[in-house]
């Protein structure tokens, strides 16, 4: 229950307690280069800005401290900088991280930058400075039609292949998300066809499936996010879900990591990523790969929401490495040190030019290793990388594009 | 219009609006460094120059309006050296100046802008088969070359190559005088020298004037650093050793006599810190083996396999003594020296003691003493800690004489230590008082600090370390370079040209 007295008084930041003082201000989050462990710089935003401290993690932490200690006030100018962050979590991935499983530096264990940025954004929303105008438009629509794409809720399943009829209840539920149904219908269509071809018939809970709430959470609209999350949890529970399959990396992070926090206890179902299911079906010999990749090279882009946020790195790689004739090459920045595509944290909608500049850097990473394709598993990353990559002659594929359907 | 406003406009005219800021949240972000004791002090203006000419312009504007300036590199100063000491002023963030200007392989040096980080430079050099020898301080992933030189810092590699400033053969400096004069030191000071190649021979060592000056004598914009061929063979060993500082002194002396050419690093982690790492799971293998004894790391390097094997044999013979156990060979088996060397863990080796509790970190007291005095320093420091225990615990301060002892060439060692304090506003004044007491105590037993920033430079003066004639000489030099005393006022308690 929101205490209205507390609104505007940094209630979200204050809930985080002493971790707000966890940053010692060493500044490794500025530009750390530690090539022996694949670390080449940190903040994807910094190099496209004037570069003052507030544009990377240490400055933001000092600002948070200044706010908490009463020396600084929230403002629109501050909000404009705080929202120029993809919340990719690369600062967290370099902050007192030893890059060796045998060594656990203390601060790296508890300092969660993304959580602090999201709390600061929520306080900016409380104070009327956030989110950005475009976010507000999107989220107003989301309240009404349950998606951030200015589309009608009833159209969420217009992608459904003709003749396919999926149940609305079941132990295995496919959570569609918003981006694929409204913006990449061919991907969700292929995904469902693939599952059906392997004898898996998931349920869809439409019209009860709403936006997962990721956009609202990342931009500080916490109350809307909570409404959406609680609605979806109830709908999934009512549908008898025991396992919820998610394709979109943003939805996966939200269901897997944020929903239990919002729900306040363990979810009544398990959240799994589509690549886990596809690996399972591959092992059972129920899926086949396309055969037109012979002598081609591919790399994999780790979506931040899946990789750094959920420590989920290997299942997509396991699939790619099994494709006959396709040579897999890692980009120099991968896994915990992967460069963000630039689209996350509301940057794509509020600062599209910045998002494209960051994508250009990531595509350069791919060009450097001389690949023919970039594969990823996040529709958001796919859209943003595609803007740049396809001009460079590098198609961006979704993982399901590797399969014969 | 105030002087600060006029200065802002004149800075904006030359640097461009993007690189000059007086926004409140930007000023807050530049208001402190890495300590739990000093108050936040906002600059009036923060600038990010991109060229030496722009730095010179900033200096001229500051002199015109009598505005203090503080140069800043990576900003991880542990003793308050790269944020305002007096209220207001201009913070000059030099991190835009981060280019490698040229590499002179034939004379073994690299010319860089001082805002480049150690991490960037080391990657650049390693790819070309070179190293700087000592590869930067504990914050080297983001610390700059300029900061390392200003703080006369040490780092892994220093057991063989000394402090970073001994590896610098010249600098380009913007002097803080009203004209913002730009000079070059070392052989580069001669108009006839085609490329810099030596620090000496052009009169006094003026390069030295800007080494360890903690940003009080000039603003370094370029540096010429020695480079060495990257050793083909590098290895690290980890030993648990007896609880006996005399043993450590003897083994260090002996290793440096027999194998100074091959020993790149020798460190000691005292048992109290080993216990902390074991109990808090910082080093998991040490926790698994319930390690409680002091630990020594030894790094060796060689260009040739035979020399490498010889160095390895010398190290193992030296440690083949009762009470010594070698850990390893893998990191999983406790050989942390492998992480330090192979995964560039050297830039994080001191981070294990930071933030064991959220919000607690170090009031740093790193200083050098002759190696043979180390046992006595530990004894007297531990006594001092015991005497102060009541005050420390009421202030949530815990004192560690040494998190690590780092061995230097020629019989000196660095006691890398500090006092862990809680970074809450209500605690900072007490933390500062106890910190300065500890520093004065160290100055008085003959400890020589190196990064001095605000707190240590002031503690040296408060302890009356310098005879009056030396202080006068120091101030006269400062006055010659900085007649308005605008660069880093407050360090060494120097505030103006007039006051004594």
Q: What is the pLDDT of residue B358?
A: 85
Q: Which two tokens stand for residue B49?
A: 């120059």
Q: Give the mean model confidence (pLDDT) for residues A186-197.
A: 97
**A88 close to A47: Cβ distance less than 8 angstroms:** no
If you measure CA to CA, which chain A residue comes closest to B351?
Answer: A105
Q: What share of chain B is helix, strand, coil (3-state, %, to 5)?
A: 40, 20, 40
Question: B117 and chain A: CB distance < 8 Å anywhere?
Answer: yes
Q: What is the DSSP letter of B132?
A: -
In angstroms, the first-to-last Cα distance of chain A is 49
Strand partners of residue B297: B238, B267
- Of B7, B16, B97, B58, residue with least CA distance to B179: B58
Q: How far apart are alpha carbons A198 and A200 in whole angstroms?
A: 6
- In a mutational test of the B interface, the residue from A18, A102, A112, A129 whose CB has the highest number of chain B CBs within 10 Å is A102
Q: How far apart are alpha carbons B273 and B301 in whole angstroms?
A: 27
Q: Is B108 left (phi over 0), alpha (psi -120 to 50) or beta?
A: left
Q: Do A104 and B19 touch (CB under 8 A)?
A: no
To which residue do tokens 């108009």 refer? Answer: B191
Q: Do B339 and A98 touch (CB under 8 A)?
A: yes
Question: B124 and chain A: CB distance < 8 Å anywhere?
Answer: no
What residues of chain B lie within 8 A of the CB of A35, using their CB? Answer: 119, 122-123, 126, 344
Looking at the domain that runs over B351-461, which CATH code has it been given?
3.30.300
Cβ of B444: how many Cβ atoms within 10 Å?
Answer: 11
Helices (H), B289-411: 305-318, 336-342, 374-387, 389-394
What residues of chain B lie within 8 A of the CB of A29, using their CB? Answer: 142
If you measure CA to CA, which chain B residue comes closest to A75?
Answer: B25
Q: Do B40 and A66 touch (CB under 8 A)?
A: yes
- In a mutational test of the B interface, the residue from A100, A113, A368 whose CB has the highest number of chain B CBs within 10 Å is A100
If you measure CA to CA, which chain B residue comes closest to A25?
Answer: B34
Q: Could you give the dihedral angle defined by the CA atoms of residues B154, B157, B158 and B160, in that order, rounded to the nearest 10 degrees?
A: -170
Among the partner-chain residues B21, B343, B423, the one whose CB lies closest to the CB of A21 is B423
Cβ of B286: how many Cβ atoms within 10 Å?
Answer: 26
Q: What is the pLDDT of residue A1?
A: 40
What residues of chain A lie within 8 A of the CB of B74, using their CB? Answer: 27, 30
Stated as kind and residue range, the H or E segment containing A327 is: strand A326-328
What residues of chain A lie within 8 A of the CB of B424, using their CB? Answer: 21
Q: Do A63 and B95 touch (CB under 8 A)?
A: no
Asked whether the domain spanning A289-402 has the same topology as the one spanning A141-282, the reply is: yes
Strand partners of residue B398: B420
Q: How far apart are alpha carbons A384 and A362 in whole angstroms?
A: 10
What residues of chain B lie within 8 A of the CB of A18, using their CB? Answer: 357-359
If you measure CA to CA, which chain B residue comes closest to A48?
Answer: B18
Q: State the CATH class of domain A141-282.
A: alpha beta
Cβ of B201: how many Cβ atoms within 10 Å?
Answer: 11
If you measure CA to CA, which chain A residue comes closest to B115?
Answer: A31
Q: What is the pLDDT of residues A289-335, one digit of tens each?
A: 999 999 999 999 999 999 999 999 999 999 999 999 999 999 999 99
To which residue do tokens 């050099």 refer? Answer: B125
Helices (H), A167-273: 179-183, 185-197, 214-218, 222-238, 249-253, 259-263
Q: Do A24 and B361 touch (CB under 8 A)?
A: yes
If you measure CA to CA, which chain A residue comes closest to B338?
Answer: A100
The contacts of residue A142 (CB under 8 Å, 6+ apart) are A148, A211, A215, A216, A224, A228
What residues of chain B lie within 8 A of the CB of A120, using their CB? Answer: none
Question: How is domain B3-93 classified at the architecture level of CATH?
Answer: 2-Layer Sandwich (3.30)
Question: B32 and chain A: CB distance < 8 Å anywhere?
Answer: yes
Q: Do A98 and B348 touch (CB under 8 A)?
A: yes
What residues of chain B lie within 8 A of the CB of A79, using their CB? Answer: none
pLDDT at A40 over 60: yes
Q: Do B282 and A106 touch (CB under 8 A)?
A: yes
Give the strands of the sheet with B109-113, arranged side by side: B100-104, B109-113, B219-226, B168-174, B182-184
Q: Is the ipTM of this complex over 0.90?
A: yes
pLDDT at A72 over 90: yes
- The low-confidence residues of chain B, meaning pLDDT below 50, are none
- In a mutational test of the A interface, the residue from B12, B25, B339 whose CB has the highest number of chain A CBs within 10 Å is B25
Q: What is the pLDDT of residue B389?
A: 87
What residues of chain A lie within 8 A of the CB of B425, using their CB? Answer: 69
The contacts of residue B112 (CB under 8 Å, 6+ apart) are B99, B100, B101, B121, B145, B222, B223, B225
Q: Which two tokens stand for residue A34?
A: 């530690």
Q: Do B29 and A96 touch (CB under 8 A)?
A: no
| Fold for the domain defined by B233-347 | Alpha-Beta Plaits (3.30.70)
Q: What is the pLDDT of residue A347?
A: 98
Q: How far apart are alpha carbons A403 and A387 in whole angstroms?
A: 24
Q: How far apart are alpha carbons B88 and B75 in whole angstroms?
A: 17
The contacts of residue B258 (CB under 8 Å, 6+ apart) are B314, B318
Among the partner-chain residues B32, B142, B355, the one whose CB lies closest to the CB of A31 is B142
Q: Do B280 and A111 touch (CB under 8 A)?
A: no
Among the partner-chain residues A30, A101, A110, the one whose CB lies closest to the CB of B142 is A30
The pLDDT-based confidence of A7 (bands split at 50, 70, 90) is low
What residues of chain B lie within 8 A of the CB of A24, using their CB? Answer: 34, 354-355, 361, 423
- In a mutational test of the A interface, the residue from B81, B279, B355 whose CB has the highest number of chain A CBs within 10 Å is B355
Q: For residue A162, give Cα distances in angstroms to A156, A159, A165, B363.
A: 15, 9, 8, 69
| Fold for the domain defined by B100-229 | 3.30.465
Q: Which two tokens stand for residue B144?
A: 């700059």
Q: Do A66 and B25 touch (CB under 8 A)?
A: yes
What residues of chain A lie within 8 A of the CB of B348, using their CB? Answer: 96, 98, 105
What residues of chain A lie within 8 A of the CB of B34, using their CB? Answer: 24-26
Domain ranges in chain B are 3-93, 100-229, 233-347, 351-461, 466-493
- Rounded to the nearest angstrom, the gap between the alpha carbon of residue A232 and the centroid of all alpha carbons in its chain is 18
What residues of chain A lie within 8 A of the CB of B28, using their CB? Answer: 62-63, 66, 71-72
Q: How far apart are alpha carbons B127 and A174 in whole angstroms?
A: 48
What residues of chain B lie within 8 A of the CB of A106, using their CB? Answer: 280, 282, 351-352, 354-356
Q: List b or e across A197-210, with b for residues whose CB sees 16 or more CB atoms inside 10 angstroms.
A: ebebebbbbbeebb
Q: Which two tokens stand for residue A250?
A: 């943003």
Question: B128 and chain A: CB distance < 8 Å anywhere?
Answer: no
Asked whether the domain spanning B233-347 has the same topology as the one spanning B100-229, the reply is: no
Give the distance from residue A101's alpha carbon to the nearest chain B alpha carbon, in angstroms. 8
Give the distance from residue A278's alpha carbon to the nearest chain B alpha carbon, in angstroms. 34
What residues of chain A lie within 8 A of the CB of B342, using their CB? Answer: 36
pLDDT at A2 over 50: no
If you measure CA to CA, which chain A residue comes closest to B138?
Answer: A26
Cβ of B17: how many Cβ atoms within 10 Å?
Answer: 10
Q: How far apart are alpha carbons B415 and B277 in whole angstroms?
A: 18
If you measure CA to CA, which chain B residue comes closest to A106?
Answer: B356
Stated as kind and residue range, the H or E segment containing A375 is: strand A373-376
Domain ranges in chain A are 4-126, 141-282, 289-402
Q: What is the pLDDT of residue B356?
A: 85
> In chain B, positions 42-81, which contact chain A (CB-CB < 8 Å)?
42, 46, 48, 74-76
CATH number of this structure's domain A289-402, picked from the four choices 3.30.70.2190, 2.40.170.20, 3.40.50.10700, 3.40.50.261: 3.40.50.10700
What residues of chain A lie within 8 A of the CB of B120, using their CB? Answer: 31, 33
Helix, strand or coil, per DSSP, at residue A9:
coil
Q: Do A32 and B142 touch (CB under 8 A)?
A: yes
Among the partner-chain residues B332, B358, B424, the one whose CB lies closest to the CB of A110 is B358
């Amino acid at each position: 229950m929101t205490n209205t007295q507390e609104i505007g008084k940094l209630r979200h930041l204050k809930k985080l307690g002493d971790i707000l003082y966890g940053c010692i201000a060493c500044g490794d989050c500025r530009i750390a280069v530690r090539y022996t462990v694949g670390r080449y710089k940190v903040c994807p935003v910094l190099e496209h800005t004037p570069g003052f401290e507030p544009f990377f993690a240490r400055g933001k932490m000092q600002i948070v401290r200044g706010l908490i200690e009463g020396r600084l006030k929230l403002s629109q100018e501050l909000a404009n900088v705080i929202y120029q962050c993809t919340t990719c979590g690369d600062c967290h991935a370099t902050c007192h991280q030893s890059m060796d499983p045998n060594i656990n530096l203390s601060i790296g264990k508890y300092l969660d930058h993304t959580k602090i940025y999201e709390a600061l954004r929520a306080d900016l929303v409380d104070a009327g400075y956030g989110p950005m105008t475009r976010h507000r438009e999107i989220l107003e629509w989301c309240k009404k039609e349950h998606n951030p794409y200015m589309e009608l809720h009833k159209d969420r399943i217009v992608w459904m292949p003709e003749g396919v009829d999926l149940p609305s209840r079941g132990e295995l539920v496919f959570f569609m998300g918003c981006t694929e149904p409204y913006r990449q219908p061919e991907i969700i269509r292929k995904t469902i066809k693939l599952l059906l071809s392997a004898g898996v018939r998931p349920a869809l809970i439409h019209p009860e499936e709403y936006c997962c709430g990721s956009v609202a959470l990342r931009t500080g609209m916490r109350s809307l996010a909570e409404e959406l999350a609680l609605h979806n949890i109830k709908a999934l529970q009512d549908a008898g879900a025991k396992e919820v399959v998610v394709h979109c990396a943003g939805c996966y992070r939200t269901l897997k990591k944020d929903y239990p926090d919002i729900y306040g206890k363990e979810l009544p179902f398990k959240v799994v990523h589509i690549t886990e299911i596809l690996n399972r079906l591959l092992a059972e010999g129920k899926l086949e790969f396309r055969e037109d990749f012979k002598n081609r090279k591919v790399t994999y882009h780790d979506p931040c929401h899946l990789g750094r946020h959920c420590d989920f790195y290997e299942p997509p790689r396991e699939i790619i490495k099994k494709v006959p004739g396709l040579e897999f090459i890692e980009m120099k920045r991968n896994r915990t040190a992967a460069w963000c595509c630039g689209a996350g944290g509301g940057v794509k909608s509020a600062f599209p030019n910045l998002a494209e500049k960051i994508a250009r850097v990531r595509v350069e990473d791919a060009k450097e290793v001389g690949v023919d394709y970039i594969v990823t598993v996040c529709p958001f990353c796919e859209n943003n990388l595609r803007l740049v990559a396809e001009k460079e002659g590098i198609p961006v594929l979704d993982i399901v594009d590797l399969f014969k359907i | 219009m105030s002087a600060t406003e006029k200065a802002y406009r004149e800075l904006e005219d030359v640097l461009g609006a993007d690189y000059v800021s007086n926004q409140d949240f930007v000023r807050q972000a530049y208001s402190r460094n890495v300590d739990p004791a000093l108050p936040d002090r906002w600059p009036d203006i923060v600038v990010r120059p991109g060229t030496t000419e722009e730095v010179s312009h900033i200096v001229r504007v500051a002199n015109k309006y009598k505005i203090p300036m503080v140069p800043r590199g990576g900003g991880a100063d542990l003793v308050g050296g790269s944020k305002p000491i007096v209220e207001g002023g201009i913070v000059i963030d030099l991190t835009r100046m981060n280019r490698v200007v040229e590499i002179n392989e034939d004379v073994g040096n690299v010319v860089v802008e001082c805002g480049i980080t150690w991490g960037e430079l080391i990657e650049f050099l390693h790819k070309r088969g070179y190293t700087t020898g000592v590869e930067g301080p504990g914050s080297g992933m983001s610390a700059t070359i300029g900061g390392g030189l200003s703080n006369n810092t040490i780092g892994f590699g220093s057991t063989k190559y000394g402090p970073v400033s001994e590896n610098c053969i010249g600098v380009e400096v913007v002097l803080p005088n009203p004209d913002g004069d730009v000079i070059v030191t070392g052989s580069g000071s001669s108009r006839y020298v085609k490329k810099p190649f030596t620090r000496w021979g052009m009169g006094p060592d003026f390069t030295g004037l800007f080494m360890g000056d903690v940003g009080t004598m000039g603003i370094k914009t370029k540096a010429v650093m020695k480079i060495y061929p990257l050793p083909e063979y590098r290895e690290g060993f980890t030993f648990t050793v007896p609880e006996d500082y005399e043993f450590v002194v003897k083994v260090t002396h002996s290793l440096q006599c027999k194998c100074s050419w091959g020993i790149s690093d020798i460190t000691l982690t005292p048992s109290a810190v080993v216990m902390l790492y074991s109990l808090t799971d910082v080093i998991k293998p040490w926790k698994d083996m319930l390690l409680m004894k002091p630990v020594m790391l030894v790094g060796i390097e060689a260009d040739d396999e035979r020399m490498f094997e010889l160095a390895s044999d010398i190290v193992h013979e030296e440690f083949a003594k009762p009470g010594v156990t070698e850990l390893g060979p893998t990191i999983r088996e406790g050989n942390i020296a492998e992480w330090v060397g192979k995964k560039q863990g050297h830039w994080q080796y001191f981070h294990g003691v930071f933030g064991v509790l959220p919000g607690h970190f170090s009031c740093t007291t790193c200083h050098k003493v002759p190696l043979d005095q180390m046992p006595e320093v530990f004894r007297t420091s531990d006594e001092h800690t015991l005497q102060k225990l009541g005050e420390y615990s009421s202030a949530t301060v815990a004192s560690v004489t040494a998190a690590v002892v780092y061995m230097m060439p020629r019989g000196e060692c660095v006691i890398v230590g500090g006092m862990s304090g809680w970074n809450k506003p209500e605690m900072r004044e007490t933390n500062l008082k106890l910190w300065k007491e500890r520093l004065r105590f160290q100055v008085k037993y003959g400890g020589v600090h190196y990064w001095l920033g605000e707190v240590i430079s002031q503690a040296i003066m408060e302890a009356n370390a310098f005879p009056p004639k030396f202080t006068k000489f120091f101030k006269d030099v400062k006055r010659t370079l900085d007649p308005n005393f605008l660069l880093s006022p407050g360090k060494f308690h120097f505030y103006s040209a007039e006051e004594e």
